[in-house]
Amino acid sequence: MLGKMVAAVQTFACLVVLSSLQAYEATVVPRSQVNGIVRGTVYLNPILSVPENYQQIIWRFNKSQKILTKKWNQPESYPSGSFHTKLRYYENHTLEINHLQKQDSGTFRMEVEDNLSKKTNELFRLDVYEPVPKPRVNFTIRANEDGWCNVTLACIVDATQVTYHWRKNEKDLVGKNSSTLDVALKSESDASYKCIVSNPASEETGFIYYRSPCTWNEKNSAVPLSLARKTADSILAFGFLLLVHNWI
Ligand SMILES: *[C@@H]1O[C@H](CO)[C@@H](O)[C@H](O)[C@H]1NC(C)=O
Ligand SMILES: *[C@@H]1O[C@H](CO)[C@@H](O)[C@H](O)[C@H]1NC(C)=O
Ligand SMILES: *[C@@H]1O[C@H](CO)[C@@H](O)[C@H](O)[C@H]1NC(C)=O
Ligand SMILES: *[C@@H]1O[C@H](CO)[C@@H](O)[C@H](O)[C@H]1NC(C)=O
Ligand SMILES: *[C@@H]1O[C@H](CO)[C@@H](O)[C@H](O)[C@H]1NC(C)=O
Ligand SMILES: *[C@@H]1O[C@H](CO)[C@@H](O)[C@H](O)[C@H]1NC(C)=O
């Protein structure tokens, strides 16, 4: 009994450490590495503490190109160039970049000059990706005999630099990271497969559904919940009308 409790406490402590580690990663990593999608928006949030009486703040793209200057107590200015119309600067020193294009990928440096002309800076790396288009899933039957339905599923998407993973009945198929998936089904009457295609900035999902014997469909033939719900609602409403009718 006591042993079990100790084990439970240990597990809990371990989970707490793990989750705080994850939180640490999640908050620290994106500050220097930022991913965006084409036509999207990103925010560069500096962690650098900016003194109250700074002299000026300069943002540069790829080391040389000056894209923003903010002198203390003056409005910011945006030098002409590819970022001229795409930036917005906030009081809290966050820089917003809009209408992202692939060629905006690169490094952004924030330089702060304090009132004694001492400089500190912070570097960001921005990568802009095409949004992942919606994939299709097709199937090729390898064998359909002895009660087996053995097929190869293929996740088809017109995109490069993407990674794949698969889920069966909402459970991750760990380690299945190829665009194709070999499956062998025998006893199951139905199953759903999901292919998730992602890049660091976006992801999309394709579906395919299995029904015994060896039938595959990109649409789920089960009645969708929303439709079932609507039907149930109309039956209820109808029943109510009938009730009112009888009562009168
Ligand atoms: C600064 O303000 C912007 C816009 O209100 C917000 O999106 C951003 O998260 C803020 N940054 C920080 C570091 O609080
Ligand atoms: C420089 O800034 C510091 C704090 O940011 C302030 O205490 C000091 O008075 C400033 N000096 C001048 C000359 O403005
Ligand atoms: C900016 O630098 C990156 C490498 O960090 C390079 O791939 C990119 O082409 C540069 N962009 C421009 C517009 O010079
Ligand atoms: C499924 O997609 C793969 C990859 O695009 C293709 O080679 C194959 O011919 C397709 N199979 C069917 C049955 O459409
Ligand atoms: C497969 O994908 C999962 C989820 O995206 C990832 O955690 C794992 O590292 C990948 N494995 C390989 C071998 O690429
Ligand atoms: C289908 O796959 C299963 C599991 O891999 C295998 O045992 C079986 O022999 C295959 N059936 C046929 C007809 O190829």
At residue 32 the predicted structure's pLDDT band, cuts being 50, 70 and 90, is confident
Residue with CA closest to ligand 5 atom 13: 175
> Are the C-beta atoms of residues 222 and 228 closer than 8 Å to each other?
no
Q: Is the pLDDT of residue 12 over 90?
A: no
- Among 109, 129, 149, identify where a domain stops: 129
Whether 87 and 122 map to the same domain: the answer is yes
Q: Domain holding 160: CATH number?
A: 2.60.40.10
Whether 159 and 211 map to the same domain: the answer is yes
pLDDT 10s digits, 102-146 = 999 999 999 999 999 999 999 999 999 999 999 999 999 999 999
> Are the C-beta atoms of residues 47 and 123 closer than 8 Å to each other?
no
Span 222-230, average pLDDT: 48
| Residue 205 lies in domain | 136-223
Whether 122 and 169 map to the same domain: the answer is no
Q: How many angstroms is it from 115 CA to the middle of ligand 1?
A: 25
> Are the C-beta atoms of residues 219 and 208 closer than 8 Å to each other?
no
Question: Which of 146, 149, 150, 187 has most ligand 6 atoms within 8 Å of CB, for mutation?
Answer: 150
How far from 130 is each of 91, 111, 173, CA to CA, in Å?
30, 30, 26
Say how many domains are in the chain.
Answer: 2
Task: Please give the pLDDT value at position 137.
Answer: 96
Q: How far apart are the first and last CA of the chain?
A: 66
